Structure 1
Amino acid sequence: MGGMDIHEILKHLPHRYPFLLIDRVTTCTPGKTLTALKNVTINEPYFPGHFPVRPVMPGVLILEAMAQATGVLASQSTDTTPENGFLYYFVGIDDA
């Protein structure tokens, strides 16, 4: 399968602004791999405090974006959606 725009992504995740951290899926091979993008701009709400002189996307939000990408992959791989009552939960990570 090819990529997904934001409208297709919204079918696979319950997240919405401001906590939707995927803007586009460039490639998806169900059951195997997915590549997604988040367009980060200087206007992100966390930049004024993290860090004022050198803005950095907080690591926990990077992990959340990866978890959301995994949720899209799982939804695509199993043909399930939040609309049909299926949700995926990120419950842990080792060696981050």
Structure 2
Amino acid sequence: GIKNVTMNEPFFVGHFPEEPVMPGVLIVEAIAQCSGILVLGTVPDPENYSTYFMKIDGAKFKRKVVPGDTLQFEIQLLEPIRRGVAVVEGKAFVGETLACEAVMMAQIVKNKQKTEQK
């Protein structure tokens, strides 16, 4: 996955006005969303499923992410998906430099089917 970080992002207003830095929690969320795409690619009808965080381990922030940076996400499954549980390692890079890494566990859950309205 790729994320172009621009000054237009609303979080930069308060984080921080004189020294804009992308919040680490949003970098982790971006890794999680890319992980969800990878994991849902393993089910035959991914539009009927969602992934939910169960655990985040070893999150490390190695470099500030600032406006003008492009984040590139690399995600890999660490073990086969069992009972709908996926364990992934995600890394976010700016160029060749590692900016953030984490190991995440997520549950794959079938979405509730909406009943047709008459």
- What TM-score, normalized to structure 1? 0.56
Quote the sequence identity (%).
Answer: 54
Question: What corresponds to 1:41 in structure 2?
Answer: 6
Structure 1 unaligned regions, length at least 5: 1-35
Q: Offset of 1:67 from its aligned partner?
A: 0.3
Write out the 4+ residue segments of structure 1 that deviate beyond 4 Å after TM superposition. none
1:76 and 2:41 matched: yes
Higher helix share: 1
Query: How big is the shift at 1:78?
Result: 2.5
Two-structure CA RMSD over aligned residues (Å): 1.2
Higher strand share: 2
Give the alignment of 1:1-96 within 5 angstroms: 36-82=1-47, 84=48, 86-96=49-59
**Separation in structure 1 between the aligned mates of residue 20 and residue 2 of structure 2, nearest angstrom:** 18
Query: Counterpart of 1:51 in structure 2: which amino acid?
Result: F
TM-score (norm 2): 0.46
Shift of 1:41: 0.6
What runs of 5+ residues in structure 2 fail to find an aligned partner? 60-118
CA gap 1:80/1:90 in 2 versus in 1, 3 angstroms: farther
